[in-house]
């Protein structure tokens, strides 16, 4: 029996897809196929899937909405568990908002604005999900998830056990957290915000989104900022100084608008993107002595 058949027996009613192209599940629009992809809808289903996969010795890869993800051209072996829109949901409780991991940051920040709650304006234009944003402590324009997080529900992906962790326990730093370092999984998070004027909150969100449109290459598929910000430097500036703004490998290009982004000009492969990442890292090191680290998560195997 195939892996799909085994999982179908163990997880009746689950949203399972076989031989699924991962390009359809990432904002980069590149990548090979997953053996089996499961879009989970609840913590109970998530736990059942983890235990079922572990029980048959199946490799498991967890993804969110694919906004910070590059899947190699050979795809992903085993089971991919996706916490996407099916795993969404928001609840407002006075000055707090609880959101499930698959909820989009855009919807979350809009819901906060509608409730007259301030603190999530920075997240309104980040094209990711709550779970991924918590894991990497996503941020922009002077704000980050750690600034508003009170606690999170976290799963141990080896055992399926879920516990609650306070902000201090999450060890959220620049584009990292205990969740990321230990391979854990956020299933939901509670945010503590401040009461504010709805019109002013919306105006700030509109202004930040205007700045994004002016400075970021939103008209091409990408995974956002490709590289982490080096200490005392800006990745985009270092790349531009190395003469690589607009540089191409196949269909992948260092954005002509913002050199910190690698974009898919329409026919890129994951191999093109990876080759361009390697070129950028080499040239920047030769030019400045700075070693760039990728912010984008890279998974799967080569073709």
**What does the domain layout of the chain look like in residue ranges?**
3-85, 88-213, 217-299
**pLDDT attached to residue 303:** 87
Reported pTM = 0.93
CATH number belonging to domain 3-85:
3.30.43.10
Query: Which is catalytic among the residues 39, 118, 177, 225?
Result: 225
* CATH class, range 88-213: alpha beta
Query: Which is catalytic among the residues 175, 222, 255, 283?
Result: 175
Question: Which CATH code of 3.90.78.10, 1.20.1090.10, 3.40.50.80, 3.90.1640.10 fits the domain covering 217-299?
Answer: 3.90.78.10
Tens digit of pLDDT per residue, the chain (303 long)?
899 999 999 999 999 999 999 999 999 999 999 999 999 999 999 999 999 999 999 999 999 999 999 999 999 999 999 999 999 999 999 999 999 999 999 999 999 999 999 999 999 989 889 999 999 999 998 999 999 999 999 999 999 999 999 999 999 998 899 999 999 999 999 999 999 999 999 999 999 999 999 989 989 999 999 999 998 899 999 999 999 999 999 999 999 999 999 999 999 999 999 999 999 999 999 999 999 999 999 999 998
Are 238 and 292 in contact by the 8 Å Cβ rule? The answer is yes
Q: What is the DSSP string of 74-141?
A: T-EEEEEEE-SGGG--EEEETTEEEEETTSBHHHHHHHHHHTTEES-GGGTT--SBHHHHHHHT-EET
**pLDDT attached to residue 1:** 83
**pLDDT attached to residue 136:** 93
Active-site annotation holds for 94: no
Q: What is d(CA 22, CA 37) in angstroms, rounded to the nearest whole number?
A: 9
Active-site annotation holds for 207: no
Query: Which is catalytic among the residues 45, 98, 121, 295?
Result: 295
**pLDDT attached to residue 223:** 95
Q: What is the DSSP string of 224-275?
A: EESBPPPTTS-HHHHHHHTT-TT-EETTEEE-SS-TTEEEE-SS--HHHHHH
Active-site annotation holds for 225: yes
- CB 7: neighbour CB atoms within 10 A? 22
**pLDDT attached to residue 32:** 98
Q: What is d(CA 123, CA 147) in angstroms, rounded to the nearest whole number?
A: 11
């Amino acid at each position: 029996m195939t892996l799909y058949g085994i999982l179908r027996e163990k997880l009746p009613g689950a949203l399972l897809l076989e031989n699924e192209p991962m390009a359809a599940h990432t904002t980069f629009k590149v990548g090979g196929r997953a053996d089996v992809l499961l879009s989970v809808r609840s913590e109970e289903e998530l736990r059942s899937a983890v235990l079922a996969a572990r029980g048959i010795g199946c490799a498991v890869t967890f993804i969110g909405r694919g906004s910070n993800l590059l899947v190699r051209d050979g795809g992903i072996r085993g089971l991919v568990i996706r916490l996407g829109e099916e795993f969404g949901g928001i609840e407002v409780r006075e000055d707090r908002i609880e959101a499930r991991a698959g909820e989009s940051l855009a919807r979350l920040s809009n819901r906060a604005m509608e409730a007259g709650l301030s603190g999530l304006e920075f997240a309104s234009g980040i094209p990711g999900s709550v779970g991924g944003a918590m894991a990497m402590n996503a941020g922009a324009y002077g704000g980050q998830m750690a600034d508003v997080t009170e606690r999170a529900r976290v799963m141990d992906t080896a055992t399926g056990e879920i516990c609650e962790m306070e902000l201090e326990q999450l060890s959220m730093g620049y584009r990292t957290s205990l969740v990321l370092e230990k391979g854990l999984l956020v299933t939901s998070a509670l945010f503590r915000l401040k009461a504010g004027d709805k019109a002013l909150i919306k105006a700030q969100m509109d202004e930040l989104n205007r700045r994004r449109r002016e400075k970021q290459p939103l008209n091409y598929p990408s995974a956002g900022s490709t590289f982490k910000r080096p200490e005392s430097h800006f990745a985009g500036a270092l790349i531009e100084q190395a003469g690589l703004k607009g540089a191409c490998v196949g269909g992948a290009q260092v954005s002509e608008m913002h050199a910190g982004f690698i974009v898919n000009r329409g026919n890129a492969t994951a191999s093109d993107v990876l080759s361009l990442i390697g070129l950028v890292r080499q040239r920047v090191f030769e030019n400045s002595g700075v070693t760039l680290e990728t912010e984008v998560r890279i998974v799967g195997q080569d073709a």
